Each structure stands twice: as C-alpha cells, then as structure tokens.
Copies of this chain bind each other. A is one copy, B any other.
Amino acid sequence: MADVEEFVESAGLYFERLGLSRTAGRVMGCLLADTGEAADAPGLCERLGVAKSSMSVALNQLEQGGLIERYRPPRARRDHYRLTDDVFGRAFRAKMAEFAAFTALAEQGLDAVGDHPVARARLENMRDMYAFMAREFPKLLDRWDTERTDAHRPGGSD
C-alpha cells in the first residue's frame, strides 16, 4: 500500500503539468487526501515544508483558478481551505477555455493566410474541430452529472 506522502508528491507532479506550480499541486494532493475540513495555511506550510509566502501565492493561485475556496469558521482567526465542490468540473471547464482559444487561433490563421486553398482547408478543419469540442464537451459534463446523480440516488429527485 502506497504512502500518503508519495501520493502528495505525485499530485504535485501531475498538477504541475496542468500549469500549476509544484507547491500548488502538492496542496491539491493534501486537500484530496486529508480530511480536508481543517486545512489552514500554517498546517500546510508545516506539512509541505514551504515558506508561508510560497503558500500564500499557491493558495491564491488555486483560489483564483476556482479549484479551492477559503472559508473562515466562526470565531476562527485564520482562513481554512477546502476543495471546491466540483473541482474537476472546473478543471474540465478550464480545458474548454483552451478549446475556445484554439478555435480563435485558427480564425486568426484564416484571417492571415488569405485565400490559399490548402492552408485554408487545414485551418478550417482545425477551427471546426475545436469548435465542435467546445460545443460538445459541456454536454459530456452534463451527462456525467446526471449519470452520477442517478447512480447515487436511484429513482430519487432532489
């Protein structure tokens, strides 16, 4: 059986490849593996062995990306952090933004190449494909939501 520390390090690597910093990725690992209900900045610093300044920027990075949210329990003096309800939904929607960006890139290309037929065909294919993905991917997310709801609440409606 693997260790939790190993998982945290792996998470650091994996999320780093998504564009986050290493420490931000490790924070994600901590919040995924821990009870997550009581994570605060000093505790994460202690656990990951990073300066609180680095932790500050990492947490802001994650919050701005919508992956975590901070909350202040009543009468508490420090912020606490937890994963957003649909962390991965948001991650996928970020991917969607990438689809839209590449659609725009293809359009920029079409605007630049003029009427060269071969280049136009290539760029039109690129544009259409990314537009298709940007259009269809949200539906996939919706389907996931409904299927998961059905699986967890068979026959039930909220």
Contact = CB atoms under 8 A, between A and B. Distances in A.
B148 A109 contact: no
A64 to B, nearest CB: 17
A51 interface: no
Interface of A: 1-4, 6-7, 10-11, 14, 17, 19, 29, 32-37, 83, 87-89, 92, 95, 98, 101-102, 105, 108-109, 111-114, 116, 118-119, 122-123, 125-126, 128-130, 132-133, 136-137, 140, 143-144, 147-148
Nearest to A117: B35
A101 B14 contact: yes
26 contacts: A1-B114, A2-B111, A4-B112, A7-B105, A7-B111, A10-B108, A11-B105, A17-B98, A29-B109, A32-B109, A32-B123, A33-B113, A33-B119, A33-B123, A35-B116, A36-B118, A36-B119, A83-B122, A88-B125, A88-B129, A88-B130, A95-B95, A128-B148, A132-B144, A133-B140, A137-B140
